[in-house]
Structure 1
Amino acid sequence: MHLEEAIRSRKSVRRFLPKKVPRDVIEAMLELAARAPSGNNIQPWIVHVVTGQVKQAISKDILDAIKTESDQHQAEYDYYPEEWFEPYQARRRAVGFELFEQLGIARADREAREQQTLRNFEFFDAPVALFISLDRRLSLGSYVDLGMFIQNLLLVARAHDLHTCAQAAFAPFHRIVRHHIPLADEHLLVCAISLGFEDLDAPENKLITPREEVPGFAGFYGFE
């Protein structure tokens, strides 16, 4: 797949087919994604790949925790600001409204919206999940490096006719995840990535989020 096609076709898929992804394909994807740049080549990314019963056990334990102790789970880093402001607030709301509209969920239907949110923790039925972490003793630059690795991974998936959904929603449940994978104490859980084949008939997968036009975020200086 041409790089431009991979970038333009990448999206967050929220329903996957129950079709297995071979381990050798995942290993090849990780090997290529690891060509991402990093400051002084420290390569801070750490990946745990789960499937089958391990993935199901993580899903069950998190869903049980949400029912009984949701207020006891916090992420170890701040992904979003404490208070939203424009233009980010509007963009955030718009994508939420568009997703629920695709699913036919009314804005006032709080129960249906919550059920859709819980689908995160079922990995949207994806057969494979990758938990991405880094050493908490590293600094902010390593988050930049990790972002480039994750982007590589999402694009490489498209080259294998696979789709993904990157999910920071798992970060608050790092203590539960640690029960199932050997995530060292010094490793900070950043996100999970659901991986598999897109369900083309799913209405939620019709959502294509808009992007700001270039003049809205870029300036050009010194050109003749």
Structure 2
Amino acid sequence: MSSFSAFESPDSAATAAIDAAITTRHSMRAYLAQPVERALIEDILRVASRAPSGTNTQPWQVHVLTGAAKARLSQRITAAYDDPEELATHGEEYAYYPREWVSPYIDRRRKVGWDLYGLLGIAKGDKLRMHEQHGRNYLFFDAPVGLIFTIDRVMQQGSWLDYGMFLQNIMIAARARGLHTCPQAAFTQFHRLIADELALKPEQQLVCGMALGYADPAAVENSLVTEREPVAGFTRFLDAPLKG
């Protein structure tokens, strides 16, 4: 692969490789059992740590779960998720989604949901299979690596923006190495359980989880590619003052 320094422009091969890592990143929901070596995980996190952050605060904290540790967390969350009474005692610590949905966001949300369920043959109203499919989040979709991300509570909104760039860097760096990911806000509902299982400090707040591994090419759900708005749909180009 081509390389370039901080003051050089990437050549066409490097540009194509970067673009490919970005555009072939999809949220994969089924993984092979093939393990991911610790050195590779560390390499991905090292590259991702180059994400920008205000005054270099670097607010990210990563908890890497594999083997028995991942299985134990998945078991505890799944048990809570499948018990209606216990499930009712859990709730998100922060609002990831809007309190009130409006177009076009609710339309996009519904479409991706029904596109996924359609691929899986889950009919509208089949609450049991919907519950089971959502529950696969807590198995990290069978990925060999589960990532849990936390942030210190003293950090404010700007640091969460920085955190998003760090998460994106992980996903792109993983893709460049032949792996796939699925960022998962589903874990936020069980923040108290996760804090207990991972022995988090009181000042550590759960941000999200993420599955990491080699995607199963035979899994139909991995064929889902969500739509994106064209540039003209979300961009304004201004080359003159709007007011005199």
* Shared fold (TM-score, shorter chain, > 0.5): yes
Q: How does 1:3-22 map to 2 (within 5 A)?
A: 3-22=18-37
- Alignment match, 2:53: 38
2:152 is aligned with 1:135: yes
Higher relative contact order (CA 8 A, sep 6+): 1
- Alignment match, 1:28: 43
Q: Quick check: 1:128–1:194 contact (8 Å CA) kept in 2?
A: yes
| Matched residue SS, 1:44 | coil
2:233 is aligned with 1:216: yes
Matches of 2:81 and 2:199 in 1, distance apart? 23
1:9-54 deviation line (CA, Å, top 9, x unaligned): 0000000000100000000110100000000000000000011011
- Percent identity, aligned pairs only? 48
2:210 is aligned with 1:163: no
Shift of 1:108: 2.5
Matches of 1:178 and 1:108 in 2, distance apart? 34
Moved more, 192-201 or 170-179: 170-179
Q: How does 1:40-189 map to 2 (within 5 A)?
A: 40-68=55-83, 69-189=86-206
- Where has structure 1 moved over 4 Å in runs of 4 or more? none
Segments of 5+ residues of structure 2 without an aligned counterpart are: 2-16
Shift of 1:85: 0.5
Matches of 1:52 and 1:195 in 2, distance apart? 13
1:101-121 deviation line (CA, Å, top 9, x unaligned): 111111132211111111111
Shift of 1:67: 2.6
Letter in 2 for 1:37: P
Count of residues in Structure 1 that have an aligned counterpart in Structure 2: 223
Q: CA RMSD for the aligned pairs?
A: 1.1
Matches of 1:28 and 1:128 in 2, distance apart? 14
Matches of 2:200 and 2:47 in 1, distance apart? 23
Letter in 1 for 2:237: F
Matches of 1:98 and 1:190 in 2, distance apart? 27
Letter in 1 for 2:217: L
Please say which structure displays the higher CA radius of gyration. 2
Matches of 2:177 and 2:237 in 1, distance apart? 36
Moved more, 100-109 or 9-18: 100-109
Matches of 1:176 and 1:167 in 2, distance apart? 16
Matches of 1:177 and 1:18 in 2, distance apart? 24
Matches of 1:143 and 1:152 in 2, distance apart? 14
Normalising to structure 1: TM-score of the pair? 0.97
Matches of 2:198 and 2:81 in 1, distance apart? 20
